[in-house]
Structure 1
Amino acid sequence: MSSIVVFGAGGTAGSRVTAEAVGRGHRVTAAVRRPEAASYLPAGVQVVTGDATSERSVRELAPEADVLLVAIGGGERGLWLDAARALVTTLRGLPDAPRIIHLGGGSTLLTPRGTRYLDEPDFPEEYRDSAQGQADALDYYRSQADGVTWTYVSPPPLEFHPGERTGHYRTGTDEPVTDDQGRSVLTYEDLAVAIVDEIEHPRHENMRFSVAY
């Protein structure tokens, strides 16, 4: 059993990872900005006030954790980089520091031409700030996260939605995982399966991996 702190546990992705982890017997702490809005989380989850962008908050929650999972969203471009910095800066100075798992964007994955999806001319403008923010966080982990253990997880760049939990998926690295028709598809429920599998059986330490069917 692992002790997992989920920043953003009240969100679409974070709530599903929380439920998957609890269902497998892990001890989960839901770190959210408004605990009163997370009353629907599974029984047994400890709900606390927490902020992934705050070094103080990370320092308070890290000592009893095996994993700090970042599943935050809804903020301005700098949100994800601020979280990466707070986590890395804080954990670097701790003995037996927990591992970071950062749920990132699929728009940072590479197209068949080798460019990022977020750099495509037809990329939706309304998502550009958040996409670039997730890209900034990935760049930070890759260049400045020495001394800590991290994993960045990318779902498909387009077809990613709530749905059925099948328990099946495939993984890649910097490109989307595609089927025989070239589609990259995944539900939030099976992303949660992949993340908890990675917690239980680490295979992608200090790197990014992608997930789809």
Structure 2
Amino acid sequence: MARIVVIGGTGYAGGHIVAEAVRRGHEVVAFSRSAPEAPVEGARYVQGSVLDPEAVRQVVDGADAVISSLSPRGDMSDLAVDALGGVAAALTGTSTRLGVVGGAGGSLTAPGGPRLFDLEFPEEYKHEAQAGIDALALLEASDPSLDWFFVHPAEVFGPWAEGERTGHYRRGDDGVLIRDADGTSTISGADFAMAIVDEIERPAHHRARFTVGY
């Protein structure tokens, strides 16, 4: 059993990760500013701001893995990357792994590029996608003692396309967006969470990114 802290644990991705980790018997702490609308039985919820260094240090202390599922929206629109930097600083030099939920925009459309963001990417999502790209760059430039992994979900991923828990997914270790035989790129919240917890239980990516989809 691992002690897993999910930052942003009441959001879409974070909530699914909390549920999956609890389902597998892990000790799970969800850290966020808001109380959960539908708490997961067995998880512990801690309210606080990721922008408060002391609150972050306290909640991540002793964790085996910390998953950041921060969303660069609303009043966190221009603060999510800085907040991730604070989390990374708190974990640098420790044995705690840091997993980061990114966006699809920074994933590659083919080996070697270009990125999805570099093509006909919707203007209304560019700011959020850029935050994900900047978050990956922050991790890549971090101290070598920080053990991190970064995960790009499929192109269609969110509460507007919830899907079901199938128990299956495909993983791309080269940063290339996962598409099915019809060219569709999608993943449900539950199956994305399964990929995250699988990586915690069976580490395969150290200071590296991967993609998830069907």
Please give the TM-score of this superposition, normalised by the length of structure 1.
0.90
- 1:99-120 residue CA offsets vs partner (Å, 9 max, x unmatched): 1000000110112382221222
Could you tell me which amino acid in structure 1 is paired with residue 84 of structure 2? A
- SS of the residue corresponding to residue 187 of structure 2 reads strand
Work out the percentage of aligned pairs sharing the same amino acid.
Answer: 38
- SS of the residue corresponding to residue 81 of structure 1 reads helix
Q: 2:2 maps to what in 1?
A: 2
Could you tell me which amino acid in structure 2 is paired with residue 196 of structure 1? V
Q: Is 1:116–2:115 an aligned residue pair? A: yes
Q: 2:99 maps to what in 1?
A: 101
- 1:66-92 residue CA offsets vs partner (Å, 9 max, x unmatched): 111111212454333213211221222
TM-align CA RMSD: 1.8
Q: 2:150 maps to what in 1?
A: 152
Q: Is 1:205–2:213 an aligned residue pair? A: no
Q: Is contact 1:109–1:117 with CA below 8 Å preserved after alignment?
A: yes
Q: Larger deviation: 106-115 or 160-169?
A: 106-115
Could you tell me which amino acid in structure 1 is paired with residue 154 of structure 2? P
Correspondence list, 1:11-90, <5 A? 11-35=11-35, 38-73=36-71, 74-75=73-74, 76-90=76-90
Give the whole-Å Cα distance in 1 for the aligned partners of 2:157 and 2:14: 18
Give the whole-Å Cα distance in 2 for the aligned partners of 1:104 and 1:169: 17
Unaligned 5+ runs, structure 1? none
- SS of the residue corresponding to residue 166 of structure 2 reads coil
Q: 2:178 maps to what in 1?
A: 177
Pairs aligned (count) = 208
Give the whole-Å Cα distance in 1 for the aligned partners of 2:208 and 2:52: 24
* Per-residue deviation, 1:31: 0.3
- 1:27-50 residue CA offsets vs partner (Å, 9 max, x unmatched): 111101023xx1512112111113
